[in-house]
Amino acid sequence: MFAISSSVIFILVLLGALMPVEFGGVADRLYAFTTRSFGWFYLLVVFVLVVFLIGLAISKYGAIRLGGDEERPDYPFFTWIGMLFSAGFGVGLVFYGVAEPMSHYINAPVTGVQPSTEEAARLAMGYSFFHWGISQWAIFGLVGLVIAFLQFRKKKDGLISTALEPIVGSNRYLKGGIDSFAVIATVMGIATSLGLGVLQMSGGLEYAFDIKNTFFVQFIIIAVVFVAYMLSASTGLDKGIRYLGNFNLGLAIAMLVFFFIVGPKVFILESFTLAIGDYITNFIQYSLRLQPYGEGTWVQKWTIFYWAWTIAWSPFVGAFVARVSKGRTIREFIIGVMVLPPVFACMWVATLGGTALYSDLKNGTNIAEAVDQDVTSALFETFQHMPFTGVLTFLAIILIFTFLVTSADSATYILASMTTKGSLVPPMAVKMTWGVLMSAIAAVLLYSGGLEALQSASLVSALPFGVFLIIILFAMVKMLKKEPITVRPRDIRRFERIEAEFTKKKERRKQKQKKQS
């Protein structure tokens, strides 16, 4: 599996480096074909996963623990949440937290809505909440749940093929093919996140220090990030990723609080409340929206890209989330993964994106126009209209850098684990190999087409893995049906109290009837 998957990635790196124009052209054609022909599939898959996980959380199976019945979580709650952010979630949120609402504000998602109006701003915030809400984390949640269940409850390896065994069987060649493809899709998804972070860092350096945003600068950033995450990878999960994860979350919360304090507080709170209402009210419509009766491409460029990107790197994020969630119950896992990161994401979008929207709506700034010209400038253009611009820019670059390091560090660990039969302590040499290939494919995608090539790679590689997700869902149901439900001691005591009260009431009724007779 290691030989096959690493060879495929290496060949793609060579093709992209030697024929960047042709490579970018093929990626664009595959992107157009996939979005046009299979957009409906991505939307249905994600919607079904959301419904399934919500149902599972409230069912009797929610009490099953990911590990032994008496097992407890390995990591404190705050550290656990910080490590979820380390899995790559933070990079995309920092990139799109301002860029997405401002993009929708100037290019309205719905025909008939005038751009750069209050109506467009409301729609922009509602759709941004939708894209960073529970749907995205439902994909990560399902993969992470089945891997954690297998690793810690059933004492099996955490490979995707093992999760599919209840449905597809245990043929070694089929399993090897499934795992190899999962690795390739994961590398493409991670490369997209890595590339987005590099683009934004390069844009920030241009804003702060007038360093031109060229591929050479982007390549230097990738090289520095590579050195940093390989140093971090050498320390293991309990040191590098753990400490950086806490630092990332702390710095992100500090920036969020600063924006709220100096920003339009009432506007932020009102837009957050309204967007939550719009999100809940329109969830089904947003989840299944397509444009078969028109020529629009907005859904393909945004919703379908988001879901494909998430599906592509779900083996990595799912495996990492599983690795740090040992000892939690299924209910606790689903609530933690599907609620807490989306709530923070919506707060981030409402605070930073809301501040930018307020600035354009009320103060006549042109943040949206700048974002329309260069999406990587969104966050730094907003800083220009805030106090302490230089400090904010510096901290944002640090935040993006550390998010990139922790994301890539996590990725090398998971890729190495996936290609060494699910080993919890993969060899450093395998980590190093994936570290090099991951940086190389990100560099090639940036060289051959920038943001568009990154989007194309993740979307095309996600298509077959979407089929795997549906099979994983059925496999999870099949495994849970065979799982005995352990009754907790406190539930037994509660039942005994109820039974005792019922017996007393029954005796009192008998005595009352006896007296009456």
Q: What is the pLDDT of residues 443-494, one digit of tens each?
A: 887 887 666 666 676 677 788 888 899 999 999 999 998 887 665 566 667 7
> Tokens standing for 147?
């891997």
CA dist 164 and 157 (Å) reads: 12
- Domains of the chain, first to last: 2-482+492-516 (1.20.1740.10)
Q: Using CB atoms within 10 Å of the CB of residue 343, give its burial: 0 to 12 exposed, 13 to 18 middle, 19+ buried.
A: middle
pLDDT digits (tens, 9 = 90+) for 235-256: 655 566 667 767 877 888 899 9
Dihedral angle computed from the Cα positions of residues 189, 195, 197 and 203, in that order, rounded to the nearest 10 degrees: -150
Least confidently predicted of 66-70, 120-124, 236-240: 236-240
The tokens describing 70, both together, are 């008496």
Residue 153 tokens, joined: 């409850």
Report, in angstroms and rounded to the nearest whole number, the Rg of the chain calculated over CA atoms: 24
Q: What's the CA angle centered on 312, arms 306 and 318, to 5 degrees?
A: 105
Name the residue with higher pLDDT: 409 or 49: 49
**Token pair for residue 71?**
């097992």
User: How far apart (Å, rounded) are the C-alpha atoms in residues 101 and 161?
Assistant: 38
pLDDT of residue 463: 83
pLDDT digits (tens, 9 = 90+) for 142-174: 999 999 999 888 888 878 888 888 888 878 888
pTM: 0.84
> How much is the pLDDT for 465?
84
CB-CB contact of 338 with 137 (8 Å): yes
Name residues whose C-beta falls within 8 Å of residue 308's C-beta, 6 or more positions apart in sequence.
Answer: 34, 42, 458, 459, 462, 463
Give the CA count within 13 Å in the CB-facing half-sphere of 426: 26
Over residues 252-279, the pLDDT tens digits come to 889 999 999 999 999 999 999 999 999 9
